[in-house]
Homo-oligomer: A and B are copies of this chain.
Amino acid sequence: MTEEEIKQSLKLYIVLSRAHKVIDEESHSFFQANGVNPTEFAVLELLYHKGRQPLQQIGSKILLASGSITYVVDKLEKRGYLNRVSCPNDRRVTYAEISEEGHAFMAKIFPQHERVLHELMGALNDEEKEQAIALLKKLGRSIKDLSY
């Protein structure tokens, strides 16, 4: 392990962080312009694409404590984007289900979100994107394995 190699890894960290940061800022302001924060968007996206979910499971997927889930779901429910639906089989369980209004909201903004991202990624051509995807996938996976 040479000095040179360590510096290279640091460099990779820096460019990765910067790229992520600028993308994140852009999508953050896109979300903000649409009145949701990234956590709320993540919850809505989950419900939009995977159907209704027990609150508990939303928490484990988005990595939020149960009290925090109540808070986020409360906000989205007040805004009319989802409904709480009790589970008939297990009366302890409450589902969150996207409402018509929430569905319409996501049907409108999700494609926009995709398009924003696509534009942001415009500096890379198809082949470069494939390369980047392969490299980052490899990286992300190995780190996840390391940390468990």
Copies of this chain, count? 2
Contacts of A117 in B (CB 8 A): 9-10, 13
Instruction: Give the contacting residue for A129; candidates B8, B120, B140; CB below 8 A.
Output: B8
**Quick check: B129 and A9 within 8 Å, CB to CB?**
yes
Across the interface, which residues of B come within 8 angstroms of A22, CB to CB?
A: 140, 143-144, 147
Residue of B whose beta carbon sits closest to that of A110: B10
CA of A130 to CA of B131, assembled, Å: 12
Inside 8 A of A25's CB, which chain B residues have their CB?
A: 147
Which of B7, B130, B147 makes the CB contact (< 8 A) with A26? B147
Q: Is A20 an interface residue (CB 8 A)?
A: yes
The interface of chain A, by Cβ under 8 A from chain B, is 1, 5-13, 15-20, 22-26, 114-115, 117-124, 126, 128-133, 135-144, 146-147
The 10 residue pairs across chains A and B that have the minimum distance between CB atoms: A123-B142, A19-B140, A9-B118, A20-B20, A9-B121, A15-B136, A22-B143, A18-B140, A132-B135, A19-B136
